[in-house]
Amino acid sequence: MGIEIAIKLLEIDNYICKTQIWDTAGEERYKAMIPVYYRNVAGVFIVYDITSRSSFENVHIWLRKIREYTDPTAVIMLVGNKVDLSKSSREVETEEGRSLAEEEGLLFIETSALDATNIDTAFTTFLSKLCSNLPKKPKTTPSQPITKRSIQSRLPRVRGLFSRKEITEKEKESRCICC
């Protein structure tokens, strides 16, 4: 087994948000690489299995590592996964997850990766919060002429976020949105 990497594009608040998801499945052998994973990230999902009490108990360990290595403004979402399974197999109640998220200042949702329940909602909520943390466009002073170049040079550059216009221009050049 290795790390699964996926890319997901969503439009949020007139931005195309390109997310790069690194799934280590919580494997012990990747813990030594945590500082590398978390450097310069804008947000993190902590996913636990609602049918596994130990998975939920490990959330505290992951949260401590995340807070140790990421920027304090990083968006963190706690995700309870496998809601598609029968209620009798559930070991972690929704309220337990929600309560932990509230105590720690995290976003919270329950999902099913198998049948895609709440997956888009999780990403939309997460990225909306992330975009709300972005700096707003700077105002132009009267002494500066307003040109396309002057505006672009003063806009914040955030890795993975592109305005709709930028993405359209890139599409024209490369005809490939992912490259």
Report the amino acid identity of residue 4.
E
* Residue 67 vs residue 38, higher pLDDT: 67
Q: Is residue 166 in a domain? A: no
Residues 6+ apart with CB under 8 A from 84: 112, 114, 115, 117
Q: Is residue 49 in a domain? A: yes
Q: Is residue 13 in a domain? A: yes
Q: What is the pLDDT of residues 5-39, one digit of tens each?
A: 888 777 777 777 777 777 766 666 666 776 777 77
Q: Is residue 27 in a domain? A: yes
- Count of domains forming the chain: 1
Residues 6+ apart with CB under 8 A from 16: 9, 10, 161, 162, 163, 164, 167
Q: What is the pLDDT of residues 89-140, one digit of tens each?
A: 999 999 999 999 999 999 999 999 999 999 999 988 998 898 777 665 544 4
| Distance, CA of 124 to CA of 126 (rounded, Å) | 5
Full residue range of the structural domain in which residue 106 is found:
4-132
Q: Is residue 147 in a domain? A: no
Instruction: Indicate which CATH number applies to the domain containing 36.
Output: 3.40.50.300
